[in-house]
Amino acid sequence: MVFGLIAHFIEVITNEIVEDVQIVKEVLAYHISEFSEYRYQQKEMRKIKQKMNYCDSYEEWVSYSIQHDSLKDITLWKKDPTSPNYNFEYIQHLRDQLKSDRLNKNVLKIIHTLRSHAFRNIGNILDPLLYKECFNGTKDLIEDFQNEIDLCIQYIASTSQLSVRKKMEFFIEMRHAVGRTALVLSGGGLMGMYHVGVVKTLYEQKLLPRIISGSSAGSIIAAFICTRKYEELPSLFLTDGINWQAFQKRDPKGQMIRKLKRFFKEGVLLDVKVLYEFTRQNIGDITFQEAYDRTGFILNITVTGQGTHDNDRVLNYLSAPNVIIWSAVCCSCGIPYIYGPSDLLCKNEKDEIVLYLDKKKKFVDGSIGADLPMHRLSEFFNVNSFIVSQTNPWVVPFMDRGEKHPIVYLPFVKLFNIIRKLLNSELKHRVQQLSDFDLLPGALSKWVNIVLQTYVGHITIAPVPRWSDYANVLEVPKSSDDFEHFMLGGARKTFSKIPYIKAYMRYENSLTRGYNKIKQQLAEDSGPIIPVQDPDESYDNESIFMDAFEEEEDIRDKRISLGKSKSIYEDSKRVRNFSFIIPRTKSKEVLEKLNKIGVKPALVRKNSSSSKE
């Protein structure tokens, strides 16, 4: 009996062990299968990312990014509105509120809600972390919210519940409150050619801002863009879109000897006359004002005063309307001891090319004073959003590109970023101290800016240069293959930024579309017109809307269509005198001034509470 019990006990234990082993096998098999699937998934995702890095078009990049996101199974993350990176409860409430008001046609409540949220980053929906989880888009709630804002804005533009006057007030003031976007192109020598690919991608996706700034090499590309009409830009992206003949005239043999002789004789390494010829061949003798009148692009070029106490400048059609663009580009590219300082030239009242300032006032490389003149652009044009294309050779290697890394490398990447930030902040702090206590020689006072200034914007695009780009930083592209390399290199780094740029500019672009609809309504409106010559008409508490004078671009178009341009000085005076918004006024002086220069407002409405479309 005892032996029977022992045998039974052993049998039970054996069965239990067999069952446990079977369970362990099944669990191990499951985890091995999961791990194998995970490894296969990661391998496929790496293959797709490699393909994405070598795409030739944004459409191709999007197709691969969709495959990547589907392998990562990002759908659940998108559908889940919760995240610590933004106020999802508030965004959900706002979306539902706007949708309800739109469906109920309560336009006044929509206007109130939008006016009380006249900024881009509502509830922190533009946090970059929300756009790094996947390549295409972000949380569905954020996309729905931005879509609802767009629908509400277009509803305001098309509704019959408001007069055209009230609509125009809303759009002018909201556009001013939300602000504008600018594209800023840094310096970088040969590496500045990467800017062409950035511009090409933004142009193809209809995201190219009208306000463009350039410093040093960036000023060359900015000038090439802003002296062409929008529909002419594709010619710039062709391999023969830029004329390089000025650099190809010299015999490459004995080049180094010529450079050394020039350096010891003139104090510069390169012949600035070649740069003059190159920029003049590609741009022509066009001024900032003429370029703006012709294209509508607002070109800004930074130059640094040569003297210790000379002011650094941002040149544009407001600050230097009659300055010739190619001379500004040469000044902005005047790296000390490479090209050296240059003079600014302008057109006088006789259309002759003369010196803009005294002969002693020369300018050097714009990147020294302000590689990215964001503060001045904000003052000039109400810009509060900056897309930066950064190619400076001393900046690009140390930039945090915000790219994802394999989990294995994350600790090392974090450590490297911490060390980089510590060294960067320590260097800036020490240099600032030396500057504050006047311990730096006067000759270095300008160069301090290179260390202290900011080199990134709200959205920063930086290429991955080849080693040869650094070695040939003072050269020009030697073949069509070189040009193609730079254009594709800039474009490929821009592809991944497009979804975020679209989100960042969505509010601004929605308001612009609505504003254009109202301008069209003003042009087609057959309502009562008040003669401008009537001096006794009461404009008390009246909103005066002039289709030709709402913003700078409207003034330009109206003046050109009237054919009243007599000289560049009169033209620029007209723009500067009336380059402002007139949403409300009690004064008749504005109308009288318009009459004196021979331009009539397109529409002036009487103040009437019953005034409708």
Compute the distance between CA of residue 323 and CA of residue 317 in angstroms, rounded to an integer: 9
Catalytic residue among 69, 101, 312, 365: 365
Is residue 587 among the annotated active site residues? no
How far CA 124 is from CA of 401, 404, 504, 524, 578, in Å, comes to 21, 21, 11, 40, 36
Classify burial at 53, counting beta carbons within 10 Å of its beta carbon; exposed 0-12, middle 13-18, buried 19 or more. middle
Residues of the chain by 3-state class (helix, strand, coil), percent to 5: 55, 10, 35
Classify burial at 471, counting beta carbons within 10 Å of its beta carbon; exposed 0-12, middle 13-18, buried 19 or more. exposed
Terminal-to-terminal C-alpha distance of the chain: 107
HSE value, Cβ hemisphere, 13 Å, CA-based, for 78: 16
Q: Which residues contact 602 (CB under 8 A, 6 or more apart)?
A: 522, 523, 545, 546, 547, 548, 558
Catalytic residue among 83, 163, 186, 216: 216
Residue 344: φ, ψ to 5° = -85, 140
Compute the distance between CA of residue 501 and CA of residue 509 in angstroms, rounded to an integer: 11
Q: What is the 3-state secondary structure (H, E, C) of 126-163?
A: CCHHHHCCCCCCCCHHHHHHHHHHHHHHHHHHHCCCCC
DSSP state of 543: P
Is residue 480 among the annotated active site residues? no
Compute the distance between CA of residue 71 and CA of residue 45 in angstroms, rounded to an integer: 7
Compute the distance between CA of residue 601 and CA of residue 582 in angstroms, rounded to an integer: 12
| Residue 147 · residue 137 · CB < 8 Å | no
| Residue 292 · residue 380 · CB < 8 Å | no
Alpha helices in 205-341 (DSSP H): 217-226, 245-248, 255-266, 272-283, 288-295, 325-332
What tokens appear for 127 in the block?
């946090």
Task: Indicate which residues carry an active-site annotation.
Answer: 216, 365
